[in-house]
Structure 1
């Protein structure tokens, strides 16, 4: 079983990779049969090929920046949650999206499930100045 410290380290690394728009690095964190539900309530992306396509079509085109807004909470059961903010251009407007990601990990430390909790209510306009 993955340790809480490994969960924290991987989730911090995930945010760093999102900030860098490093799609290959992000996808490498996932298990081959992983699922991504981003945002929660949307159809899940199942398997590494679908996850790769999701990040390339979304994050890869968004010129996003990301930063943690709180600590990573990790369990002894191989799961964790992290609050963070993603700065993007949303329909031509500079916005920040407040997100909480919840991840479950497999025994090898790969992400087997990621659920991103956010919606339009979490979009905050950024000052352009």
Structure 2
């Protein structure tokens, strides 16, 4: 895949959130993909589990904003972005890494963030 093809997948991911369209991720992820969001949490494996995860995530009305250029190498893309939740002062600073399969679909997504990257959340958010 070219840099532009990988970047297009990232932009499609951002657009899915802008449209609040969890079904749009079906076009981005492979059938057997794995999503670990955040890294260290139980993975969502398979497209149905992934769409269900994004349906729940998008219910919070997050708005994603890229924070700098998309970086690509080999079969991967890394990108920093911020997530702001509509109607709140909550925000998260995230770095996602996509790995792509031979068909150009995302086969793995890992999200990197920690409590230090979460702003405006209640202290008992993770409880």
The aligned counterpart of 2:22 is 23
Runs of 4+ in 1 over 4 A off after TM superposition: none
Q: Hey, what's the Cα distance between the residues in 1 that align with 2:112 and 2:30?
A: 21
**How much is the aligned-residue C-alpha RMSD, in angstroms?**
1.8
Q: CA offset at residue 93 of structure 1?
A: 4.7
Does the 8 Å CA contact 1:36/1:114 hold for their aligned counterparts? yes
Deviations 1:11-51 (A, max 9, x none): 12211222222111123210000000000100110101110
Q: CA offset at residue 99 of structure 1?
A: 0.5
Q: Identify the match of residue 76 of structure 2 among 74, 79, 89.
A: 79
Unpaired runs of 5+ residues, structure 2, are 121-127
Q: Hey, what's the Cα distance between the residues in 2 that align with 1:33 and 1:56?
A: 18
The aligned counterpart of 1:108 is 103
Structure 1 segment 1-129 matched on structure 2, within 5 A: 2-59=1-58, 61-75=59-73, 77-88=74-85, 93-125=88-120
Helix, strand or coil: the match of 2:48?
A: helix
Q: Hey, what's the Cα distance between the residues in 2 that align with 1:71 and 1:109?
A: 20
Does the 8 Å CA contact 2:97/2:111 hold for their aligned counterparts? yes
